Amino acid sequence: GENVEQHPSTLSVQEGDSAVIKCTYSDSASNYFPWYKQELGKGPQLIIDIRSNVGEKKDQRIAVTLNKTAKHFSLHITETQPEDSAVYFCAAKLLQGSGNTGKLIFGQGTTLQVKP
């Protein structure tokens, strides 16, 4: 089945610097890769996603890149701010059950700390 590896497990940056989190996946059939942000005491929330027919997607200070050949994708946060401090999870879609049903396989998570 699908396996998603996420690195690093912890990341500390100074406010204003960039942060990059990387994930690799094993199933070449995976075609959807979201990123979730989990703030302290809350559940994860989708922040950006990318499909396999796109190489890069941006939304203000965050961007995601996908390399299908190498089977890895990355989250880039520029001009980091203290409110970016959270746990970030990558995920890859795996087909589940019959028909066009699927589920997400999550990475291990990265704790990002942005120091003021």
Partner 1 sequence: EAQVTQNPRYLITVTGKKLTVTCSQNMNHEYMSWYRQDPGLGLRQIYYSMNVEVTDKGDVPEGYKVSRKEKRNFPLILESPSPNQTSLYFCASSWGRDGISPLHFGNGTRLTVT
Using CB under 8 A, list all residues that contact partner 1: 4, 6, 9, 32, 34, 36, 41-46, 49, 89, 93-97, 100-104, 106-109
Vertex 38, ends 33 and 23: CA angle to 5°? 35
**For partner 1, the closer CB: 18 or 108:** 108
At closest approach, how far in Å is the CB of 66 from partner 1?
Answer: 15
**For partner 1, the closer CB: 94 or 114:** 94
The owner of tokens 């990123």 is 35
The whole-angstrom separation of Cα 26 and Cα 65 is: 17
99 conformational bin, left if phi > 0, alpha if psi -120 to 50, beta if neither: left
**For partner 1, the closer CB: 23 or 114:** 23
